[in-house]
Chains A and B, each alone.
Chain A
Amino acid sequence: MNGSVVTVGTFDGVHRGHHAVLAEIRRRAVSSGRRSMLVTFEPHPLEVVNPDAAPALLTTTTERLAALATSGIDRVMTLRFDRAMAALDPAAFVDQVLLPRCDLRELVIGHDHGFGRGRQGDVATLQALGASRGFPVDVVPPVLLADGLPVSSTAIRRAVTGGDLDGAARMLGRSYSLEAVVKRGEGRGRQIGFPTCNLAIARRKLLPPDGVYAVVVETAAGRFGGMMNQGHRPTFDDGRRLLEAHLFGFEGVLYDRSVSVQWVAPLRDIRRFDSVASLRQQLEVDSHRARTMLAVAHPDLEAPLRASE
């Protein structure tokens, strides 16, 4: 290979703006016979630099790498972000990391990019650096929504936090989702006719507001519509915060298997029920509404309207 077309960034969310940058380096790499390469960090730089200001993440490292795996990039390099890395100024980052380790020939960055100590490496600094070391630096403009606002990880975090799942999906280019491992629960859902998968979530994963949601769950056994309770479980009063998903038409166990859950639409707030009977009655209503939503949003799912017997 004849050197790399490189982009650098945290790429949290792997949203439509990120995809525009990735498409640009892929295009350049193909036309110049070079390799397309993404340099990213783990953990999120703010967690090292200023942990109190570090945002909850749209994508865990696993989720981010999974989303990037389908982007057609030749190579993704994940650098450990530590205090030593944080101390590098833009010139040092270019000279000590990008040139020797990536064989950098062209640098392409997103419009809001800043790198190096204190995010000093803005577009002008980088272009000056590139001129002195002989590589071009180009900027990919933001992807704009219908209302003219740019797609950004910050805007998506705000949408998810505010429960605007449609807005988040428009900016992501896909539904907001979660990858999680199924844990063994206490079987209480099964007792009232709504068996659930209990999901272990990453500490830093950003969640929409607590509530009951219609979801799509991808498992090793196929894709299923379902509904998910997110929050603590007031009826059982044990104080823990949990994600529990009930899958329509699924029979079997998924313990210790990884599943991917897409939030489709909110069904209702979490509330306390006086009796298991009234909880069960509410779950029936929820399941009808969820099936109705899924029949519209995901008509490809098998028989989302039918009840699991």
Chain B
Amino acid sequence: MLIDKPVGWTSHDVVAAVRRQLGTRSVGHAGTLDPFATGLLVVLIGRATRLARFVEAGEKGYEATVRFGIATDTDDSAGTPTMTVEPDAWPTREALEQAAASLEGVQSQRPPAYSAKHVGGTRAYVLARAGETVDLAPVDVMVHRLQLGEWTPPTLMMHATVGRGTYIRALARDLGSRVGLPAHCATLRRTSIGPFSVADAVTPDEISLAALRTPAEMVAMLPQVRLDAAAVRDVGFGRSVPQQDAQEGHAALLAEDGRLLAVAGAVNGRWQPEVVLEPAA
């Protein structure tokens, strides 16, 4: 199910709403959204919860506003200001374009202190809340595109397409430091994950069975392989099946009628099931 998370809700609040509305316990989500952010949250139900890692692997699109001149401890608008600068002149659009371009591609990104990253076995935000100084090691992340929108100082709109593990809050902070100003992410809206768009999402009060998508739709980004009856049985037992032509990566293994049986990875020229949705009886 695709849900448009309202501002102020935690991702878990959304999961709880789905549980309540559908009366089912087994509900999970792919890719957390912070409470201050809105937009697309992919919620997975029942056996499909195990498809989360394939959904999370998709490129994510965000619309964000960056507030220059103010840094916060969380790098977002929910935090406490730590530094305020009122410059004589705000950076030009050209300077911002240049800074944005330098943030594209593979980046070494320092995660925000208030993040779910682990530091010595503890979540970074737990340490940060306890008042400890959190030093997170930079992580390599991928920023596919960083396009600037309207620039009405001190607020900049931007559209970012990023890979797994990239913090838009950190991107806002780093955009500031490239132009020599403190900055934080004021608003954030996730517009897409892989092939899924927030335009197709429902609001929490529209959660119903009718909003459910099939497991096959949730892995629409993977190449699809249709299996014959013998291969269907093998996959049900978790056994690998031969590939038609040599392929790499992952594929969705479908029955003849198009329902999703399993997601498999390529191993030695065969499809090895990794997540089986319909185990053989």
A-side contacts of B259, CB under 8 Å: 288, 291, 305, 307
Decide if A297 touches B209 in the complex (CB within 8 Å).
Answer: yes
Decide if A284 touches B212 in the complex (CB within 8 Å).
Answer: no
Q: How far is the CB of A291 from chain B (nearest CB, A)?
A: 7
Give how many B residues have a beta carbon under 8 Å from the other chain's beta carbons.
Answer: 21
CB-CB under 8 A for A296 and B22, given A266-B210, A289-B214: yes
Decide if B258 touches A265 in the complex (CB within 8 Å).
Answer: no
- Contact code string B204-232 (vs A, CB < 8 Å = 1, else 0): 00001110111110000000000000000
**Cβ of A166 under 8 Å from chain B:** yes
CB-CB under 8 A for A297 and B278, given A288-B258, A292-B212: no
Instruction: Report Cα–Cα, A264/B255, bound state, in Å.
Output: 25
Instruction: Report Cα–Cα, A292/B51, bound state, in Å.
Output: 15
**Cβ of B84 under 8 Å from chain A:** no
State which residues 287-307 of A face B: CB under 8 Å: 287-289, 291-293, 295-297, 299, 305-307
A-side contacts of B46, CB under 8 Å: 295-296, 299
B-side contacts of A305, CB under 8 Å: 259, 277-278
Instruction: Report Cα–Cα, A186/B277, bound state, in Å.
Output: 37
Q: Name A's interface SS.
A: helix
A-side contacts of B215, CB under 8 Å: 292
State which residues 265-301 of A face B: CB under 8 Å: 265-267, 284-285, 287-289, 291-293, 295-297, 299
Decide if B258 touches A289 in the complex (CB within 8 Å).
Answer: no
CB-CB under 8 A for A265 and B22, given A288-B216, A296-B45, A307-B255: no
State which residues 193-242 of A face B: CB under 8 Å: 214
Decide if B212 touches A289 in the complex (CB within 8 Å).
Answer: yes
Q: How far is the CB of B148 from chain A (nearest CB, A)?
A: 40
Give the interface centre of A266, A296, A306 by most chain B CB atoms within 10 Å.
A296
- Write the chain B residue with the least CB distance to A287: B257
Q: How far is the CB of A264 from chain B (nearest CB, A)?
A: 6
Q: Of A267, A289, A306, which contacts B278 at CB under 8 A?
A: A306
B-side contacts of A267, CB under 8 Å: 210
Decide if A292 touches B257 in the complex (CB within 8 Å).
Answer: no
Decide if B257 touches A296 in the complex (CB within 8 Å).
Answer: no
A-side contacts of B23, CB under 8 Å: 297
Q: Of A284, A285, A296, A307, which contacts B209 at CB under 8 A?
A: A296
Decide if A307 touches B257 in the complex (CB within 8 Å).
Answer: yes
- Write the chain B residue with the least CB distance to A264: B209
Q: How far is the CB of A252 from chain B (nearest CB, A)?
A: 21
B-side contacts of A284, CB under 8 Å: 257-258
Q: How far is the CB of B212 from chain A (nearest CB, A)?
A: 5
Instruction: Report Cα–Cα, A266/B278, bound state, in Å.
Output: 25
Q: How far is the CB of A202 from chain B (nearest CB, A)?
A: 26
**Cβ of B24 under 8 Å from chain A:** yes
Decide if A265 touches B214 in the complex (CB within 8 Å).
Answer: no
Instruction: Report Cα–Cα, A264/B208, bound state, in Å.
Output: 10
CB-CB under 8 A for A296 and B24, given A288-B259, A305-B259: yes
Instruction: Report Cα–Cα, A70/B22, bound state, in Å.
Output: 26
Q: How far is the CB of A55 from chain B (nearest CB, A)?
A: 25
Decide if A292 touches B213 in the complex (CB within 8 Å).
Answer: yes
Instruction: Report Cα–Cα, A298/B36, bound state, in Å.
Output: 35
Some 27 contacts from A to B, beta carbons below 8 A apart, are: A166-B21, A166-B208, A166-B209, A265-B208, A265-B210, A284-B258, A287-B257, A288-B214, A288-B216, A288-B258, A289-B212, A289-B214, A292-B213, A292-B214, A292-B215, A293-B210, A295-B46, A295-B47, A296-B24, A296-B212, A297-B23, A297-B209, A299-B46, A305-B259, A305-B277, A305-B278, A307-B259
Ranked nearest first, the 4 interchain pairs of A and B with the lowest CB-CB distance are: A265-B209, A293-B209, A288-B214, A292-B214
Known: A265-B209, A307-B257. 17 other contacts (CB 8 A): A166-B21, A214-B209, A288-B257, A288-B258, A288-B259, A289-B212, A291-B259, A292-B212, A296-B22, A296-B46, A296-B212, A297-B23, A299-B24, A299-B46, A305-B259, A306-B278, A307-B255
